[in-house]
A and B are shown apart, each in its own frame.
Chain A
Amino acid sequence: MRHILAVLVENNPGVLTRVAGLFSRRGYNIDSLTVGRTENPQISRMTIVVEGDDLVLEQVTKQLHKLIDVIKINDITSEEYVDRELVLIKVGADPSVRGEIMQIVDIFRARIVDIGRRTLIIECTGDEGKINAVIESLKPFGIKELVRTGKVAMLRGHKFTSINESREDD
């Protein structure tokens, strides 16, 4: 089963290496990992999507906690949450097919952010299913380049993953 972990870490140099190194040496599989600063500049937040059964997840969580720079871990998978990815797709777009592409972009509520002579760059955000769908829809036009961010996720409602409002404790 896939789990989404929201992990608060000290914004220290090397913290990403520590986390990534832990996953690789203990043989855990990362589906995706995103990291960025939070509302507090001293704290970064990682969203880690990891594959494994409950025993593996228990070990992943406990081992992560052993890292001094890891402050808090939430496995939000079993809760109500919002998750999003962002993708940039450079697609082949001769003038003859641009209309068709723009229709697809509208359907997915995506955006065109760059127009070249023969290409368009399309930006789309959404959950993983939507991102996969938009990629599939654009494939026939020839995808020249694609980059996606990996998942970021947040609990819905009044629950928090933050060190100040520890309503949702680990």
Chain B
Amino acid sequence: MKLSGAEIIVKSLQEEGVEAIFGYPGGAVLQIYDALYDSSLKHYLVRHEQGAAHAADGYARATGKPGVCIATSGPGATNLVTGIATAYMDSVPIIAFTGQVACDLLGKDSFQEADITGITLPITKHNYLVKDVKDLARTIKEAFHIATTGRPGPVLIDIPKDVSIKKTKFDYPAAVHLRGYKPTVEGNKGQINNAARLIGEAKRPVIYAGGGVVTSGASEELFRLAELTLSPVTTTLLGIGSFPETHPLSLGMLGMHGTKAANYAVSECDLLIAVGARFDDRVTGKIDEFAPHAKIIHIDVDPAEIGKNVRVDVPIVGDVKRVLAELNNKLQQHLPTDWQDRIARLKQENPLCYEENGSLKPQFIIEQIYEVTKGEATIVTEVGQNQMWAAQYYKFTKPRTFISSGGLGTMGYGLPAAIGAKVGRPDSVVIDIAGDGSIQMNIQELATAVHYNIPVIVAILNNNYLGMVRQWQEIFYDRRYSYTEITGPDFVKLAAAYGAVGIRVTKPEEVKPALKKAIKARRPVLIDFVVEREENVFPMVPPGGAIHKMLGG
């Protein structure tokens, strides 16, 4: 029996085990939506295509499964771009389907035509324009394979309208044959031995864990490595949750807004074990003064990350989980030394702190969220101060419970990503920690949450400023607050207008009851926390500075 391209897409998604799709219909995808109409796939209609891409991303980060989004040609496709770039920077597997004008109209500036494969070339792991329906099933198979293996990333498939209509025999391939794509999974044995030797010789080791640990599901192996070697563990923003922050060896996050303990420990260490991390400038600060006394072991699945920003003593290309398991097998149990005492002292002498003056502090709210959810919630963030406070003051103990746009730093990410995360993990309390700036970038997705009753909680830390930019203006631009004071709507009324629950909190003692009420509501809730306006995120490494020279805190 012959199937249309649209039917092939639906069947292929079912073959891949896809359960949820986030999308927005339009002219060029009418045929695909017609096939979705009576399929078993659950489609969530967002209110803006950017929301679809972020929701697919949040779904992928929360579940570890690829996220799927769909948009029509032209503006539908271009609206996905920020979401695709966000996923690309953070190595998140999403498959984006876009409609395209029919093949005979391609290249003629046709109505709603945009060269989306050209536009997304630098922000996808790979992309396809499918011009023959016979190639469609194979392309989808390849797309899922590419998106989810090696270093994951977004793949876009552009489908001209006539391709979705034309019919062919459906045969979903069992295997993928890509001679130019064979990710290295097993680490080089010689290099793993070298790493084990360096670890054996090290007196002051530090583990620097990134998003790769979460992606590869290597938390247990990382935990074992830390306990075997008694190495303190610091994580990047995306590595949060890969190692329990309640553990004595946890240093918390490092880098620009990292803990002092983490930044000092990295600056003092004689061996840095980088695991699934990429030496981003927000982590390293001034690169010449980053871990200046350390030999470096770098484990990553992407060979291009090794040697990109720093010189490495032992490079190991491979899947983090497998490499760590093999490495752990070669290690002996280390005994405590002065180094663990030093770490304990660094942590004790440099706790995260803020001034408690009776006013409503954003840091306090995060601490309360941690207490009320007992550290069991899935925390999604927007971007800016809210994101950094969430990273600093919530104690994450499990992977995939902290979801945030790290590499691209996309304001407006949080709410749609929270919706995606909740769809993927309906059993988990999902809280979007937001600022009053970021939330207004994709506030329309509140309608999506209400429509499908996806009970996400949005906690707005409302200071009527674009807080992080204001903080930089305060510190580096002599308090010249150029266009960072921002007004918002009455968020409580806005929530009501959307059909969500709105709560306003202005006093510290109201925080816990509001959170409890929000969790009980089992409906989308928006809490407007009216916080101290000019609170800053500290510690802070000035841009381009060495990470052991921090301001504040």
A62 touches B304 (CB 8 A): yes
Complex CA gap A55/B181 in Å reads: 23
Complex CA gap A91/B122 in Å reads: 43
A55 / chain B contacts, CB cutoff of 8 Å: 307
Q: Is A156 in contact with chain B by the CB < 8 A criterion? A: no
Q: Which of A67-75, A129-137, A140-148 contacts B (4 or more CB under 8 A)?
A: A67-75
A21 touches B121 (CB 8 A): yes
B118 touches A17 (CB 8 A): yes
A14 / chain B contacts, CB cutoff of 8 Å: 117, 121, 129
A67 / chain B contacts, CB cutoff of 8 Å: 180
B303 / chain A contacts, CB cutoff of 8 Å: 62, 65
Complex CA gap A63/B302 in Å reads: 10
Q: Is B146 in contact with chain A by the CB < 8 A criterion? A: yes
Q: Is B178 in contact with chain A by the CB < 8 A criterion? A: yes
CB distance from B126 to the nearest CB of A (A): 4
Residues 6-25 (chain A) with a chain B CB within 8 angstroms: 9-10, 13-14, 17-18, 21, 25
Q: Is B179 in contact with chain A by the CB < 8 A criterion? A: yes
B146 touches A68 (CB 8 A): yes
B121 touches A17 (CB 8 A): yes
Q: Is B520 in contact with chain A by the CB < 8 A criterion? A: no
Given known contacts A14-B117, A62-B303, A70-B180, A21 and B122 CB-to-CB distance under 8 angstroms? yes
Complex CA gap A67/B180 in Å reads: 8
Complex CA gap A10/B308 in Å reads: 26
A103 / chain B contacts, CB cutoff of 8 Å: none
Complex CA gap A65/B183 in Å reads: 10
Complex CA gap A44/B302 in Å reads: 25
CB distance from B121 to the nearest CB of A (A): 5
B121 touches A68 (CB 8 A): no
Interface residues contributed by chain B, number (CB under 8 Å): 17
Of the candidates A25, A65, A69, the one whose C-beta lies within 8 Å of that of B304 is A65
Of the candidates B118, B122, B146, B181, the one whose C-beta lies within 8 Å of that of A25 is B122
Contact with A along B282-323 (1 / 0, CB 8 A): 000000000000000000001110011000000000000000
B181 touches A63 (CB 8 A): no
Complex CA gap A14/B126 in Å reads: 11
CB distance from B138 to the nearest CB of A (A): 13
CB distance from A33 to the nearest CB of B (A): 17
B126 touches A68 (CB 8 A): yes
CB distance from B307 to the nearest CB of A (A): 6
Contact with A along B160-188 (1 / 0, CB 8 A): 00000000000000000011110000000
B179 touches A71 (CB 8 A): yes
Q: Is A38 in contact with chain B by the CB < 8 A criterion? A: no
A82 / chain B contacts, CB cutoff of 8 Å: none
Given known contacts A17-B118, A17-B121, A68 and B304 CB-to-CB distance under 8 angstroms? no
A69 / chain B contacts, CB cutoff of 8 Å: 180
Q: Is A163 in contact with chain B by the CB < 8 A criterion? A: yes
Q: Is A59 in contact with chain B by the CB < 8 A criterion? A: yes
Complex CA gap A7/B125 in Å reads: 19
B178 / chain A contacts, CB cutoff of 8 Å: 68
Complex CA gap A37/B254 in Å reads: 49
Complex CA gap A58/B126 in Å reads: 21
Q: Is A66 in contact with chain B by the CB < 8 A criterion? A: yes
B304 touches A66 (CB 8 A): yes
Chain A residue with the shortest CB-CB distance to B153? A66
CB distance from B154 to the nearest CB of A (A): 13
B122 / chain A contacts, CB cutoff of 8 Å: 21, 25
Of the candidates B146, B179, B181, B307, the one whose C-beta lies within 8 Å of that of A163 is B179
Chain B residue with the shortest CB-CB distance to A8? B180
Complex CA gap A45/B181 in Å reads: 17
Chain A residue with the shortest CB-CB distance to B121? A21
Chain B residue with the shortest CB-CB distance to A58? B307
A59 / chain B contacts, CB cutoff of 8 Å: 304, 307-308
Complex CA gap A53/B552 in Å reads: 41
CB distance from B375 to the nearest CB of A (A): 37
Complex CA gap A72/B180 in Å reads: 7
Complex CA gap A25/B303 in Å reads: 19
- Of the candidates A13, A66, A67, A163, the one having the most CB atoms from chain B within 10 angstroms of its own CB is A66
- Of the candidates A10, A55, A62, the one having the most CB atoms from chain B within 10 angstroms of its own CB is A62
B308 / chain A contacts, CB cutoff of 8 Å: 59
Chain A residue with the shortest CB-CB distance to B127? A14
B118 / chain A contacts, CB cutoff of 8 Å: 17
B179 / chain A contacts, CB cutoff of 8 Å: 10, 71, 163
Chain B residue with the shortest CB-CB distance to A67? B180
Given known contacts A14-B117, A17-B118, A68 and B181 CB-to-CB distance under 8 angstroms? yes
Contact with B along A38-64 (1 / 0, CB 8 A): 000000000000000001001100110
A10 touches B180 (CB 8 A): yes
A-B CB contact pairs (8 Å), 5 listed: A14-B117, A21-B122, A55-B307, A59-B307, A66-B304
| 15 further contact pairs, Cβ within 8 A, besides A13-B129, A65-B304, A68-B126 | A9-B180, A10-B180, A14-B117, A14-B129, A21-B121, A59-B304, A62-B303, A62-B304, A63-B304, A65-B303, A66-B304, A68-B181, A70-B180, A71-B179, A163-B179
The 5 closest A-B pairs by CB, nearest first: A62-B304, A71-B180, A68-B126, A68-B181, A62-B303
